[in-house]
Amino acid sequence: MTDGTITKQQTIEKQAVIDEIKKKLESSSAFYVTKYDGINVENISRLRRDLRGSNSEMKVFKNTLVIKALQDSQYLSNFENILKGPNSITFAYADPATPAKILFDFAKKNSALEIKGCLFENQFYGADKMSVIKDLPTRDALLSMIASVINEPMAKVARILEALRLSRENN
């Protein structure tokens, strides 16, 4: 309609988008709000491709629809404050730290990308606290650290047993 009224079809379409956002929020371990205007299509496409490689997804939604999707969330007021202007939402479906590293690396090279805030493992971080997120090790790095901590005592025991065996053979 041209008189500015919202049709039933438009309401249904908006509700479908809100439901899509809710579903993405529920299935993600983290999501990041970024200001992206001023980035050319080639660079934003490369960023999206890099994010897909980490089982993440960058989408653009109307801020009002994201706010409606967060309506029942305890973090609504945090996001109402940062969901102004052109934003994209990056959903992390696996390791929540990897997309943060991708976004920060991209932002170093493209100052137009501004990471405004995120919900990371059910904790809100504003732009002022984002450095905490970017310095976290990835899930794979954490697993590697744990494996080496677990493996070291076993390796030490194996070396002691081997030394005992060699000393007995020499005696």
Mean pLDDT of the chain: 84
Query: 115-154 pLDDT, tens per residue?
Result: 999 998 788 888 877 666 666 555 565 556 555 666 677 7
Q: What is the pTM of this model?
A: 0.73
User: Where exactly are the structural domains of the chain?
Assistant: 8-136, 137-171
Fold of 8-136: Alpha-Beta Plaits (3.30.70)
| Concatenated DSSP letters of 86-149 | SEEEEEESS-SHHHHHHHHHHHHH-TT-EEEEEEETTEEEEGGGHHHHHTSPPHHHHHHHHHHH
